[in-house]
Amino acid sequence: MNKTLDEIIEEYIELRRQGKVQQIAEYAKQYPEHEAELNGLLPLVADVETMADTGHSHEDEQPMPDFDQEGFHILRKIGSGGMGCVYEAVQLSLNRHVAIKTLLSESTLSQEDIEQFENEAKMIAHLYHPGIVQVYSAGRGGNGLCFYAMELIHGSGLDCMCFNDLRQIAQIGLQAAEALAYAHRCGILHRDVKPGNILLDQEGHVHISDFGLASILNGIDERQPFTGGTLRYMAPERVRDGTCTTSSDQYALGLTLLEMVNEDAAFHAPSLGELKSKILNGEIPPLACNSLELKAIIAKSVSKNPDERYPTLDAMADDLRNFLENRPVNAARPNLAKRMALWARRNPALAFAVFAACMASVFLVLSLIVGYCNTRNALEKSRENAENAELALQKVFSYVEERPPSTSMSKLLSLLLPYYQFSLEQGEQSSEKMLKAWRVIGSHSMRTHDLDLAENAFRNMLVQGETPDVMNSLASIMRGTGRLEEANALQARVLEKYAASSVLSERLEAFLAMKALAEADYGKCDRGKAFDYLEGLLDEEPGNPTLRFQYAKLLDEYGDKLERLDLRKTKVQALQILTDLTARNPEQPEYAVAFLALFERMLKRGVTTIDDEKSVLATDVSERLLMTFHNIPEAVKVAVAFRSTYIDVLRQKQLHVEYIRERERLITLLRGNYFSEDTPNELKEMLLRMQLAQLKWAQKENKPGIERRIKEIREELDFYDGPSKENILKNLE
């Protein structure tokens, strides 16, 4: 008589408890009609049995394994499963805490189990992403146990946590989608995405773990037959015929998010057969949340038809990011009213200003009508509206001042300036408020290279009174536009008026004027005098970050121009100062740009290497510049130059995995801001040319997905109006 699936599982549990443990794969072969189901279910049964048997298990009677000879001292056991254990340990050479994952004794495991374990270590070792648990080393200990050392995560799996904040769930989903998308770009499918394999640390950062069932893709979105994994999170196409694609990883992540929202399993079934039937034919349960956007994102990712899901996990991540930033999501087409509401939530201060301005206009018209009948009431209403508008404008200026530079923001402020100017002329606006408004516009416009707008702001400031910083800023614009005589005359006045000032900040501006005049060979100024003058300022305040920044720049620029300086030593000293300033002041893009530019030049010339500890900081800084300060052309130029040099060094060293990973990361960073209205054409062109080069390589190697890549580039070209558009179109044909 044929046994039912439940009877087979009961038999396996009894054999296990009697110590007659058989390999799961071998045991399942005895029942071919249930083999696939047993291979999926029995590992979970083994895990449960191991955890339930903690009081008298053979495993707990064993002493802690010894990996001291391998450089790891075991501290405690973190957890265990059907195939092995995880321990917290100290890596003796670096004195850092790590997690050690070990296999059970080989006598209790099949060759397939061992290969799966080794496969996991190899897979993760090829990935370097903050959202993926990092492997440090792997091998076989003197005790004969296979092991690998990995990043220790202080947190727990999503299956052990509850969430009631939709934005937190979306943030977790975004991080997980970005990590899995990175793995896909590196050619690796996870194939077992589920809540237990997504760890959340104490800082709220996501880490994808357990790549034991992962596989290498030989082409884009290659379909691979595979029956392993956790049935509950398998996409319908996997359940039907074992098909594994990047889309099936997306489905598993979407189902995880759905269960986080609903706080319940997506499918309930008493047997594996019924569970399969529900996955294939049942309806996805509705989401218990009031956000139509998040509902649409999750629903799209768990569509039964793979073609109706997102084309990539990058696209899913983009939609989750749109949701978190209150932007329209592609999965749900909002109407005009909804788009306006999202825009207002995304830009509350600006929305308030627009609303206030509109209301002020309405009130003004109404007051004029009423004023026709009652002049006094009209005047009072007008005054009240003016005060409301002034308050709104002040909030707009304060909001812009606190944010990274933006061309659109600077132009918006310039449109509001006439009101300030009119108020000043009427005596209703203080000159201090006007100066603050012009300063914000000038600073933002300088950084975004809108020199006409910046010059207009600085000239208006000088009308109210000369200050050395504004005079130097205006002179800098003049030099950039070829008006050298005007610039020299203005900075000579700065030097004459402020060189002997008792105020340190004014003498700093005198130094900047002296340096500019020395480089222009104007008058009696020379580089040696400028260097001595700055050293004198540093003697007064050696810890002043602005003075240290200028000193580092001087060491970098004058290293080969002053005989008293040793070129190599000055570069190293300058880099050290800029490293410290950048690490301590992440909100200052000027420090980051100078540090990255110098490090890139030294890396290109072989003075430093990618193994230098500063290389990690440089990589982080370049990413921050591209993500946060992408509206500053100089920041983008320097960040891309560094990334390109870094990638080239990896290629020269034949570090192919790292080379592909970093090249894909750069493309991802560039694409992240491509569709922003403030992104300059220069940045868009960089991305388009990199994608063209990637496309040519894919065509040469006969890689799949060529038509999709061409379509993506054509869509991006619709948002690019630079001088190279026609040339790029020709290359696509």
Positions marked catalytic: 192
Distance of CA 260 to the CA centre of its chain: 23
DSSP 179-235: HHHHHHHTTEE-----GGGEEEETTS-EEE---TT-EE-SSTT--EE---S-GGG--
3-state DSSP assignment of residue 440 = helix
How many whole angstroms separate alpha carbon 199 and alpha carbon 472?
Answer: 52
How many whole angstroms separate alpha carbon 36 and alpha carbon 39?
Answer: 5
Helix (H), strand (E), coil (C) string for 89-152: EEECCCCEEEEEEEECCHHHCCHHHHHHHHHHHHHHHCCCCCCECCEEEEEECCCCCEEEEEEC
How many whole angstroms separate alpha carbon 324 and alpha carbon 586?
Answer: 23
Q: Are 125 and 118 in contact (CB under 8 A)?
A: no
CA angle 616, 621, 626 (to 5 degrees): 135
Fill in the amino acid letter for 103. Answer: L
The helix-helix angle for 407-425 and 375-401 (nearest 10°) equals: 140
Give the position of tokens 């006045």.
493
How many whole angstroms separate alpha carbon 255 and alpha carbon 244?
Answer: 16
**Tokens for 700?**
């040469």
3-state DSSP assignment of residue 238 = helix
| φ, ψ at 681 (rounded to 5°) | -60, -30
| φ, ψ at 157 (rounded to 5°) | -75, 160
- Supply the DSSP symbol for 704: S
**Tokens for 680?**
């300059």
Measure the CA dihedral 635/636/641/644, to 10°: 140
3-state DSSP assignment of residue 604 = helix
Closest by alpha carbon to 505, among 470, 532, 481, 478? 470
